[in-house]
Amino acid sequence: MCVFTNSLFSSSKVIKIKGMISEAPLQQLHDPLFEEHEVKLWVKREDMLHPHISGNKWRKLKYNLQEAKQQGKATLLTFGGAYSNHIAAVAAAGKEFGFTTIGMIRGEEHLPLNPTLDFATSCGMDLHYVDREKYRQKQELTFLQHLAEQFNHPYIIPEGGTNVLAVKGCTEIVQDINIDYNYLCCTSGTGGTIAGIIAGLEGQKQVIGFPALKGGEFLKEEIAQLVQAYNGGSYSNWQLITDYHFGGYAKVKPELLEFMHNFQKHYQVPLEPVYTGKMMFGIYDLIRKGFFPSGSRVVAVHTGGLQGNAGFKERLGVVV
C-alpha cells in the first residue's frame, strides 16, 4: 500500500520527505577472502534512503520533480516494464509530492496485477499498456509529441529516469562517502547512475560499472554522452565489466541466488537479482581473481530496487 505524509516543496529545492534519511550509511563487509587478498569492501546503503523512493531512483527523480514543479506541471508521465523499479518509484513520488502519474507499460495487461503495478496503482498511477513495437518509439519526438497532446502536456520522464537532471542527482551519491577509497562500483541499466558518479568524481578514483544487460558494451558510449551533456567532461577513470549478466536482463542462475541468500544471511543486507545481486557477485569474483591490487579500498553502491523481489518470487517461484 502507498501511504505518505508531511512532504513539502519549495520553489528552489526539494525538501526531504518524511521517512528519508539524510545520507546513505556505509557498511563495511568482512570476509576471509578480503583478508587473503588484502582488500577492504564497503557497501553504500542507498537502499535505506526511503522505503519506496530509494537508491538511485530518488537520486534520479529529485531534480526532475523540482523541474516539473517549477514548470507548473501537474502530471508526470513515464515508461517502464511490468516489474520496473522506476515505475514504482515515480508512482510513489507522485503520491508524495502531489502529482498525477501516468505509466506507459511495455506489453499487455495481465490481471491480477503483479506486486509492482499493484503498488503503482495504489499510489494513484494510471496505467496504459503499449505494445512492444510502439514502445520502441519512446524516445522519438513524434511519439512524445503525440503523448503530450493526448495527456494534456505532462512532464515526461524517460524510461529508467535517465536524463541530464538524473545525472545531476546521481553526482550527489559520492558527496557523503566519508572514507578514503580507490574504487567505486555501481550496477548499470540505462547508464544514468554511473554517469552521475563519473561526473561527480571528476576524474578521481576508479569507477567500475556492472551492466545488467547482456552485451552491455553499448552502454559505454551512452554513459560518455550523458557525462558530456551534464558537465562537458570526458574522463578515463572508469570501465564496464560485462561478464556478470547471468544470461541477460532479469535472468538468473542458481549460483547467483545461492550467493544472494548467503550474502543476506551473513550481512543482513538484502539484494535483488536484476542489478545489485549481480554486481556483488561480480565484485567477489574479481577479488578472488586478484583484479583489485593489494591494499585496495572498494565501495559498492547499493542502488535499491528491492521492491522487485516480490514480483521475482511471483514469476519464478523462487525466494530472493
User: What's the confidence (pLDDT) of residue 5?
Assistant: 42
DSSP-derived 3-state class of residue 19: coil
Per-residue tens of pLDDT for the chain, all 320 residues: 565 443 444 434 445 576 788 789 999 999 999 999 999 999 999 999 998 998 899 999 999 999 999 999 999 999 999 999 999 999 999 999 999 999 999 999 999 999 999 999 999 999 999 999 999 999 999 999 999 999 999 999 999 999 999 999 999 999 989 999 999 999 999 999 999 999 999 999 999 999 999 999 999 999 999 999 999 999 999 999 999 999 988 889 999 999 999 999 999 999 999 999 999 999 999 999 999 999 999 999 999 999 988 877 666 655 56
Q: Where in the chain is the domain with CATH 3.40.50.1100?
A: 26-51+167-316, 56-161
Provide the b/e sequence for 260-284 (b: ≥16 CB within 10 Å). beebeeebebbbbbbbbbbbbbbbb
- Return the CATH fold of 56-161: Rossmann fold (3.40.50)
In the block, which residue shows the cell 531512483?
57
Domain 26-51+167-316: CATH architecture, name and number where available: 3-Layer(aba) Sandwich (3.40)
Other CB atoms closer than 10 Å to residue 193's CB: what's the count?
32
Q: What is the mean pLDDT of the chain?
A: 92
pLDDT in tens, 200-236: 999 999 999 999 999 999 999 999 999 999 999 999 9
Q: Are 201 and 184 in contact (CB under 8 A)?
A: yes
Element (H or E) spanning 228, and its range? Answer: helix 219-231
User: What's the confidence (pLDDT) of residue 171?
Assistant: 97
